């Protein structure tokens, strides 16, 4: 399903398979998760600067913050402030 975040159990399974030096295709075959999704999670893991074993030792909450960072709030557009009184 598109744009649906993986559960922490699935993320930990991917992480464990990476620790066992499985390829992305092997991980895809064993988990059923799309290869592009696996590639994206691998990029998130590597960009954290931590080893896979350190990431695996994190709590679910800390790991979820790492792989699913909170979205930043966008500042309001100045044009909206000009347009709003006219509506």
Q: In the chain, what are the domain boundaries?
A: 8-67
Q: What is the pLDDT of residues 45-75, one digit of tens each?
A: 888 888 888 988 999 999 888 888 777 767 7
CB 24 within 8 A of CB 39: yes
Per-residue pLDDT tens digits for 1-39: 566 778 889 999 999 999 999 999 999 999 999 999 999
Residue with tokens 């792989």: 67
Q: Are 14 and 54 in contact (CB under 8 A)?
A: no
């Amino acid at each position: 399903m598109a744009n649906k975040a993986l559960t922490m159990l699935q993320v930990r399974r991917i992480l464990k398979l990476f620790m066992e030096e499985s390829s992305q295709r092997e991980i895809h075959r064993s988990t059923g998760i799309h290869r592009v999704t696996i590639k994206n999670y691998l990029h998130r893991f590597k960009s954290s600067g931590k080893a896979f074993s350190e990431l695996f030792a994190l709590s679910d909450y800390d790991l979820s913050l790492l792989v699913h960072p909170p979205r930043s709030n966008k500042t309001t557009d100045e044009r909206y402030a000009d347009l709003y009184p006219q509506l």
